[in-house]
Structure 1
Amino acid sequence: MAFNKSLAGYFDDLQHVGIPTDDLDKTVAFWEKLGFKMTGNFDTDDKGNQVVFMSYAHLTLEIWTGDGAVKKTGAINHLSLNTSDADAAYKAAKATGFTMKETEVQHLDFWDHGIKFFNIEGPNAETIEFCQIVKG
């Protein structure tokens, strides 16, 4: 399937890689042993689920509980591309004909001012997220 249009210009880099886990402490310890440092830790619901962000150099991981770990090849849940305007990127993705996984841009209370994001589906059913960390 070829697209006539592109989303180039609506993102500037890889933002993070998303990995669900059943054992947050064990997973954090594993990545710390590789040299990653925890840069964020947030509650995601009223059931005790959490999301942790870990960074090393230019790579950030989003690791969370509540969705269940796959525990086989394919365990990475999504790749996130950094965008400075999730609303504009959403409109462009929809107009370009990508398969949208949400009907609108989503919002979460991570970081100081929250995030805005949406997901598209790739040709192998992979999830590609466009994520904006809201500034001020």
Structure 2
Amino acid sequence: MDKYLYKLHIKGIQHIGIPTQKYQETLDFYRSLGFEIINQENYQGHRVAFLRIHNVMLEVYESETTADATGSIDHIALSVEKVDQLFRKMQGVYRLLSTEVEQLPYWKSGIRFFKVEGPNHEVIELCEIL
């Protein structure tokens, strides 16, 4: 079977699921980053919210059991512009995991990024492709 056959169907990330015991804190955190709640549900007595910013969608859902630590998904990377300005704006407001904007030689001209921690200890990478 052609290993690229699925490429015709896969269009990108649909959503990233974040289980939480800190539902409102998690919603507040992502809303402060600019995400908007586009749908809320109640599934088997647990609250579920879908949040979107541009083409990134998160599913935040209440769960009695959560890893409350970085798990098999190491981080969520969000595309950003003006990463240096964003880093300065977020200092003292969010829990930064990076002490400075880092750079790697990926893509044609490299990337610049830094990481913050969410309320469930999830790692969010804010990344600008140069």
Q: Give TM-score, length-normalised by structure 2.
A: 0.50
Of structures 1 and 2, the one scoring higher in RCO (CA 8 A, sep 6+) is 1
Q: Higher Cα Rg: structure 1 or 2?
A: 2
